[in-house]
Amino acid sequence: MNDDYPLSIQQVTAYQRDGYIQLNEVITGDDLVQFRDAVNAAVKKDTAQLDPNRPKSSYEQIFIQCVNLWHRYPAVKPFVLHRRLGNIASKLSGLSVRLWHDHALFKEPHTGAKTPWHQDTPYWPHQQKMHQLTIWVALQDTTIHNGCMSFIPGTQRMLDIEPVNLGEPQDLYAVAPQTKGIKPVTCELKAGSVTVHNGMTFHYAGPNRSDGMREAIAIIYMPDGTTYSGSPHSVADPMKLTVGQKLDTEFFPLVSN
Protein backbone atom coordinates (compact mmCIF):
# COMPACT_ATOMS: atom_id res chain seq x y z
CA MET A 1 0.00 0.00 0.00
CA ASN A 2 1.64 3.28 -0.97
CA ASP A 3 1.17 6.34 1.18
CA ASP A 4 -1.02 8.58 -0.84
CA TYR A 5 -4.63 8.14 -1.76
CA PRO A 6 -5.48 11.00 -4.11
CA LEU A 7 -8.06 13.34 -2.61
CA SER A 8 -9.39 16.29 -4.60
CA ILE A 9 -10.22 19.68 -3.12
CA GLN A 10 -13.86 18.91 -3.97
CA GLN A 11 -13.74 15.75 -1.85
CA VAL A 12 -12.21 17.59 1.12
CA THR A 13 -14.84 20.33 0.77
CA ALA A 14 -17.64 17.73 0.55
CA TYR A 15 -16.39 15.95 3.69
CA GLN A 16 -16.20 19.21 5.61
CA ARG A 17 -19.67 20.26 4.43
CA ASP A 18 -21.46 16.91 4.89
CA GLY A 19 -19.48 15.31 7.73
CA TYR A 20 -18.93 12.10 5.80
CA ILE A 21 -17.57 10.86 2.48
CA GLN A 22 -17.31 7.61 0.56
CA LEU A 23 -13.88 6.80 -0.91
CA ASN A 24 -13.57 3.91 -3.34
CA GLU A 25 -10.68 1.46 -3.76
CA VAL A 26 -8.62 2.70 -0.85
CA ILE A 27 -7.17 -0.75 -0.12
CA THR A 28 -6.78 -3.08 -3.08
CA GLY A 29 -5.17 -6.28 -4.36
CA ASP A 30 -2.92 -8.27 -2.05
CA ASP A 31 -3.15 -5.61 0.66
CA LEU A 32 -6.89 -6.10 0.87
CA VAL A 33 -6.56 -9.88 1.03
CA GLN A 34 -3.90 -9.63 3.76
CA PHE A 35 -5.81 -7.03 5.80
CA ARG A 36 -9.04 -9.02 5.59
CA ASP A 37 -7.29 -12.28 6.53
CA ALA A 38 -5.44 -10.62 9.42
CA VAL A 39 -8.62 -9.07 10.86
CA ASN A 40 -10.57 -12.29 10.43
CA ALA A 41 -7.88 -14.31 12.19
CA ALA A 42 -7.74 -11.76 15.02
CA VAL A 43 -11.52 -11.73 15.52
CA LYS A 44 -11.58 -15.52 15.46
CA LYS A 45 -8.88 -15.66 18.13
CA ASP A 46 -10.43 -12.93 20.27
CA THR A 47 -13.82 -14.66 20.26
CA ALA A 48 -12.64 -18.29 20.48
CA GLN A 49 -13.61 -18.62 24.14
CA LEU A 50 -17.14 -17.25 23.70
CA ASP A 51 -20.03 -19.69 23.74
CA PRO A 52 -21.98 -18.93 20.53
CA ASN A 53 -25.21 -19.91 22.32
CA ARG A 54 -24.73 -17.55 25.27
CA PRO A 55 -27.53 -15.05 25.89
CA LYS A 56 -26.49 -11.81 24.20
CA SER A 57 -27.17 -8.30 25.43
CA SER A 58 -28.94 -6.06 22.93
CA TYR A 59 -25.55 -4.36 22.31
CA GLU A 60 -23.90 -7.71 21.52
CA GLN A 61 -26.71 -8.46 19.08
CA ILE A 62 -25.63 -5.51 16.93
CA PHE A 63 -22.15 -6.82 16.18
CA ILE A 64 -19.11 -8.67 17.43
CA GLN A 65 -16.77 -5.86 18.49
CA CYS A 66 -13.04 -6.42 19.02
CA VAL A 67 -11.16 -3.33 20.13
CA ASN A 68 -7.53 -2.37 19.50
CA LEU A 69 -6.53 -5.38 17.45
CA TRP A 70 -3.34 -3.50 16.52
CA HIS A 71 -2.05 -3.88 20.10
CA ARG A 72 -2.31 -7.66 20.02
CA TYR A 73 -2.03 -8.78 16.40
CA PRO A 74 1.19 -7.93 14.50
CA ALA A 75 -0.46 -8.78 11.17
CA VAL A 76 -3.16 -6.14 11.74
CA LYS A 77 -0.88 -3.41 13.11
CA PRO A 78 0.75 -2.12 9.86
CA PHE A 79 -2.66 -1.64 8.27
CA VAL A 80 -4.23 0.18 11.21
CA LEU A 81 -1.20 2.47 11.54
CA HIS A 82 -0.76 2.92 7.80
CA ARG A 83 -0.05 6.47 6.63
CA ARG A 84 -2.30 6.01 3.60
CA LEU A 85 -5.25 5.88 6.00
CA GLY A 86 -3.83 8.37 8.50
CA ASN A 87 -3.15 10.87 5.71
CA ILE A 88 -6.74 10.56 4.46
CA ALA A 89 -7.93 11.38 7.99
CA SER A 90 -5.49 14.27 8.20
CA LYS A 91 -6.32 15.78 4.80
CA LEU A 92 -10.07 15.56 5.38
CA SER A 93 -9.93 17.08 8.86
CA GLY A 94 -7.13 19.50 7.97
CA LEU A 95 -5.23 18.45 11.12
CA SER A 96 -2.41 16.12 12.17
CA VAL A 97 -4.02 13.01 13.59
CA ARG A 98 -3.34 10.34 16.16
CA LEU A 99 -4.94 6.94 16.39
CA TRP A 100 -7.66 6.82 19.06
CA HIS A 101 -8.47 3.14 18.59
CA ASP A 102 -9.46 0.54 16.06
CA HIS A 103 -12.32 -1.92 16.35
CA ALA A 104 -13.46 -4.79 14.18
CA LEU A 105 -17.24 -4.67 13.79
CA PHE A 106 -18.57 -7.97 12.49
CA LYS A 107 -22.35 -8.15 12.05
CA GLU A 108 -23.49 -11.72 12.26
CA PRO A 109 -25.56 -13.28 9.46
CA HIS A 110 -29.33 -13.00 10.00
CA THR A 111 -28.98 -12.25 13.72
CA GLY A 112 -26.88 -9.07 13.40
CA ALA A 113 -29.29 -6.31 14.41
CA LYS A 114 -29.31 -2.75 13.08
CA THR A 115 -26.80 -0.26 14.46
CA PRO A 116 -29.09 2.56 15.66
CA TRP A 117 -28.63 6.18 14.56
CA HIS A 118 -26.02 7.77 16.77
CA GLN A 119 -23.08 10.14 17.03
CA ASP A 120 -19.73 8.73 18.26
CA THR A 121 -17.85 11.55 19.93
CA PRO A 122 -20.23 11.85 22.92
CA TYR A 123 -19.06 8.35 23.99
CA TRP A 124 -15.39 9.31 24.02
CA PRO A 125 -13.44 10.81 26.95
CA HIS A 126 -12.05 13.72 24.94
CA GLN A 127 -12.21 17.36 25.95
CA GLN A 128 -12.36 18.41 22.29
CA LYS A 129 -15.30 17.07 20.31
CA MET A 130 -15.36 18.46 16.79
CA HIS A 131 -12.71 16.84 14.59
CA GLN A 132 -12.47 13.14 15.48
CA LEU A 133 -13.12 10.93 12.48
CA THR A 134 -13.55 7.27 11.62
CA ILE A 135 -12.41 5.42 8.54
CA TRP A 136 -14.79 2.48 8.21
CA VAL A 137 -13.25 -0.15 5.96
CA ALA A 138 -15.47 -2.69 4.18
CA LEU A 139 -13.51 -5.93 4.18
CA GLN A 140 -16.02 -7.46 1.78
CA ASP A 141 -18.75 -5.95 -0.38
CA THR A 142 -21.21 -4.19 1.89
CA THR A 143 -24.75 -3.44 0.75
CA ILE A 144 -28.16 -2.55 2.16
CA HIS A 145 -28.76 -6.31 2.37
CA ASN A 146 -25.86 -7.01 4.76
CA GLY A 147 -25.66 -3.79 6.78
CA CYS A 148 -23.85 -0.96 5.03
CA MET A 149 -23.56 2.48 6.60
CA SER A 150 -25.86 5.52 6.17
CA PHE A 151 -25.21 9.12 7.23
CA ILE A 152 -27.26 12.27 7.84
CA PRO A 153 -25.34 15.04 6.07
CA GLY A 154 -24.45 18.15 8.05
CA THR A 155 -25.25 16.70 11.47
CA GLN A 156 -21.60 17.04 12.55
CA ARG A 157 -22.57 20.58 13.50
CA MET A 158 -25.17 19.33 16.03
CA LEU A 159 -23.02 19.46 19.13
CA ASP A 160 -25.37 19.33 22.11
CA ILE A 161 -27.32 16.12 21.66
CA GLU A 162 -27.38 13.51 24.44
CA PRO A 163 -25.52 10.26 23.60
CA VAL A 164 -27.79 7.52 22.23
CA ASN A 165 -27.80 4.30 24.27
CA LEU A 166 -27.03 1.76 21.53
CA GLY A 167 -28.40 -1.09 23.65
CA GLU A 168 -31.72 0.70 24.21
CA PRO A 169 -31.93 3.18 21.38
CA GLN A 170 -34.50 5.94 21.38
CA ASP A 171 -36.24 7.13 18.25
CA LEU A 172 -33.89 9.38 16.25
CA TYR A 173 -36.42 12.21 16.08
CA ALA A 174 -36.97 12.06 19.84
CA VAL A 175 -33.21 12.40 20.43
CA ALA A 176 -32.48 14.83 17.63
CA PRO A 177 -35.63 16.50 16.25
CA GLN A 178 -33.30 18.86 14.35
CA THR A 179 -32.50 16.00 11.94
CA LYS A 180 -36.10 15.87 10.66
CA GLY A 181 -36.26 16.64 6.97
CA ILE A 182 -32.59 15.89 6.26
CA LYS A 183 -32.39 12.94 3.89
CA PRO A 184 -29.96 10.21 4.99
CA VAL A 185 -27.47 8.93 2.43
CA THR A 186 -26.69 5.22 2.23
CA CYS A 187 -23.23 4.13 1.08
CA GLU A 188 -22.85 0.68 -0.44
CA LEU A 189 -19.17 -0.24 -0.64
CA LYS A 190 -17.05 -2.68 -2.59
CA ALA A 191 -14.45 -4.53 -0.52
CA GLY A 192 -11.53 -2.21 0.20
CA SER A 193 -13.61 0.94 -0.16
CA VAL A 194 -14.30 3.07 2.90
CA THR A 195 -16.56 5.67 4.38
CA VAL A 196 -15.10 8.40 6.52
CA HIS A 197 -17.30 10.18 9.04
CA ASN A 198 -16.84 12.94 11.56
CA GLY A 199 -17.49 11.59 15.07
CA MET A 200 -20.44 13.99 15.42
CA THR A 201 -22.18 12.94 12.19
CA PHE A 202 -25.28 10.81 12.79
CA HIS A 203 -24.85 7.38 11.22
CA TYR A 204 -26.62 4.04 11.10
CA ALA A 205 -26.14 0.56 9.65
CA GLY A 206 -28.97 -1.82 8.80
CA PRO A 207 -29.28 -5.41 9.98
CA ASN A 208 -27.35 -8.17 8.24
CA ARG A 209 -29.95 -10.16 6.31
CA SER A 210 -27.37 -12.12 4.32
CA ASP A 211 -25.94 -15.61 4.89
CA GLY A 212 -22.42 -14.29 5.51
CA MET A 213 -20.74 -12.19 8.16
CA ARG A 214 -20.59 -8.43 7.49
CA GLU A 215 -16.90 -7.79 8.07
CA ALA A 216 -15.69 -4.27 8.74
CA ILE A 217 -12.95 -2.58 10.72
CA ALA A 218 -13.34 0.99 11.91
CA ILE A 219 -10.20 3.03 12.61
CA ILE A 220 -10.72 6.13 14.68
CA TYR A 221 -8.51 9.21 14.63
CA MET A 222 -8.34 12.29 16.83
CA PRO A 223 -6.50 15.55 16.28
CA ASP A 224 -2.99 15.71 17.72
CA GLY A 225 -3.36 17.63 20.99
CA THR A 226 -6.66 16.01 22.05
CA THR A 227 -6.85 15.83 25.85
CA TYR A 228 -8.47 13.40 28.29
CA SER A 229 -11.77 14.45 29.88
CA GLY A 230 -11.78 11.94 32.76
CA SER A 231 -14.97 10.18 31.63
CA PRO A 232 -14.86 6.40 31.94
CA HIS A 233 -14.00 4.54 28.74
CA SER A 234 -12.70 1.02 28.18
CA VAL A 235 -9.75 2.19 26.05
CA ALA A 236 -8.62 4.95 28.41
CA ASP A 237 -9.37 3.39 31.83
CA PRO A 238 -6.39 0.98 31.97
CA MET A 239 -4.01 3.80 31.06
CA LYS A 240 -4.50 5.76 34.30
CA LEU A 241 -4.62 9.12 32.57
CA THR A 242 -5.15 12.40 34.35
CA VAL A 243 -7.80 14.92 33.35
CA GLY A 244 -6.39 17.34 30.79
CA GLN A 245 -3.52 15.03 29.85
CA LYS A 246 -2.70 14.94 26.15
CA LEU A 247 -3.48 11.62 24.51
CA ASP A 248 0.00 11.38 23.03
CA THR A 249 1.51 8.21 24.49
CA GLU A 250 2.65 5.18 22.48
CA PHE A 251 -0.96 3.91 22.57
CA PHE A 252 -2.07 6.90 20.53
CA PRO A 253 0.56 7.17 17.80
CA LEU A 254 0.77 9.98 15.27
CA VAL A 255 -0.34 8.40 12.01
CA SER A 256 -0.23 11.28 9.53
CA ASN A 257 2.70 13.01 7.85
Ligand X SMILES: O=C(O)CCC(=O)C(=O)O
Q: Does 105 contact ligand X by CB under 6 A?
A: yes
Q: In terms of Cα–Cα distance, which of 66, 67, 94, 100 is closest to 81?
A: 100
- Return all residues near 25 (Cβ < 8 A) that are at least 6 apart: 190, 192, 193
Q: Which residue type does 135 have?
A: I
Residues 53-72 that bind ligand X (CB under 6 A): 63
Q: Does 136 contact ligand X by CB under 6 A?
A: yes
Smallest gap from residue 242 Cβ to ligand X (A): 27
Q: In terms of Cα–Cα distance, which of 220, 217, 206, 204 is closest to 27?
A: 217
Decide whether 202 or 251 has the Cβ nearer to ligand X.
202
Q: Does 187 contact ligand X by CB under 6 A?
A: no
Decide whether 91 or 197 has the Cβ nearer to ligand X.
197
Decide whether 108 or 120 has the Cβ nearer to ligand X.
120
Eight-class DSSP state of 142 = B
Decide whether 21 or 218 has the Cβ nearer to ligand X.
218
- Which position among 87, 90, 115, 226 is part of the footprint of ligand X (CB under 6 A)? 115
Q: What are phi and psi of 190, to 5 degrees?
A: -80, 155
CA distances from 5 to 35, 62, 124 (A): 17, 31, 28
Binding residues for ligand X, rule: CB under 6 A, are 63, 105, 107, 115, 120, 134, 136, 147, 203, 205, 216, 218
